Amino acid sequence: MHMDKVRVAVAGASGYAGGEVLRLLLAHPSVEIGALTAGSNAGETLGSLQPHLIPLADRVLVETSLETLAGHDVVFLALPHGQSGPLAAQLGDDVVVIDCGADFRLDDAAVWEKFYGSPHAGTWPYGLPELPGQRDVLAGAKRVAVPGCYPTVSTLTLAPAVAAGLIEPDVVVVAASGTSGAGKAAKTNLLGSEVMGNVSAYGVGGVHRHTPEITQNLGRLTDAPIKVSFTPLLVPMPRGILATCSAPLTAPLTAAEAYDVYVKAYADEPFVHVLPAGQWPQTKSVVGSNAIHLQVTVDEAAGRLVAVGAVDNLAKGTAGAAVQCLNLALGFDETTGLSAVGVAP
């Protein structure tokens, strides 16, 4: 049986998230790429801004507007936080809208306003299919909120331990991210001269905006109120996040027992790979792929479970998840157009 291609628009095509959505869509057999929109870059060719996307190099970016986004089956929004809300409200209910921004991720309006400083736009189905029951929510969904990159890796790295009650609801996450997570807007502190040869911490003390999202995700897996200490680090690489996560054990546990819980939890997941015991994740293995690599152990002396996860912040951390959700929303095979194989070295 023949299936017509779905026509897809990408709003924010000049940024890193938009570019990665396009890179993945170019490999998706059931997608036809329609309008590419931008803000200040409207009028330029995509090739001048995203020279790696050769097949689309001659496409001219148009203004992000209801008019330019009209007439598509699917609209990806890869816009600065706060811009998706007003725009999405005007897109018809028949269009599938997949938002790579933060606007519709949080349940709690008060928490949203505290962390983002603007009115809450609402809550959409959360695009992390690996959470229990979430595939049912995403199947046929017309709206999807793609998770943040840090929440994706932090949640999947801790979820089995939280769900199985192995750890106290008091977790510490230190996540080292490549610079593309900070976006493509020109800022002095993100210059190559500043970030190369340098590691820094930022958003320390629970103030990073992804903190409540991690808390919300883990909170769905346990009845106890959960405390999350989250510290992001900026490290000198373009892509990738490595999250080091730990929490006190609720009861004595061996590393082998913890490992077994993780292996079972993710046995059927196409993109979650618990590495062989003793092999620890590295970000390079997942660059360009939709995979997350995980490992877990127990520190007996410290009385803690320690788990480490690695994702590509732009792929599984953003655009890959977006395409995975597209597949679920439209009924394609979930892995269509996505790869679990990274580009290394």
Spatial distance between the Cα atoms of 62 and 246, rounded to a whole number of angstroms: 46
User: Residue 221 or 311: which CB sits closer to its own copies?
Assistant: 311
Selected catalytic residue, list 100, 149, 245, 325: 149
Q: Give the C-alpha separation, 37 to 150, whole Å.
A: 26
Token duo for residue 108 = 């709690």
3-state secondary structure of 124: coil
What tokens does 33 get? 């790429």
Nearer to its own copies, 73 or 168 (CB): 168
For the CB of residue 127, give the shortest distance to its own copies in the complex, in Å: 22
Q: Is 245 a catalytic residue?
A: no
Nearest approach in angstroms of CB 306 to its own copies is: 5
Name the residue nearer to its own copies (CB basis): 275 or 330. Answer: 275
In the complex, least distance from residue 273 CB atom to its own copies, rounded to whole angstroms: 6
- Select 66 or 196, whichever has its Cβ closest to its own copies: 196
What is the smallest separation between the CB atom of 169 and its own copies, expressed in angstroms?
11
Q: Find all residues with CB under 8 Å of 39, minimum gap 6, and list them.
A: 12, 14, 63, 64
Q: How far apart are CA 247 and CA 218, in angstroms?
A: 13
The CA distances from residue 333 to 89, 93, 152, 324, in Å, are 29, 23, 21, 9
Strand pairing category for 272-274 and 292-299: parallel
Integer Cα distance of 2 and 293 in angstroms: 36
Q: Residues 240, 180: contact at Cβ < 8 Å?
A: no
Q: How far is the CB of 197 from its own copies (least distance, A)?
A: 5
Distance of alpha carbon 49 from alpha carbon 13, whole angstroms = 9
CA angle 312/317/322 to nearest 5° reads 125
Residue 7 in tokens: 């026509």
Nearer to its own copies, 37 or 297 (CB): 297
Q: Are 240 and 311 in contact (CB under 8 A)?
A: yes
| Positions marked active-site | 149
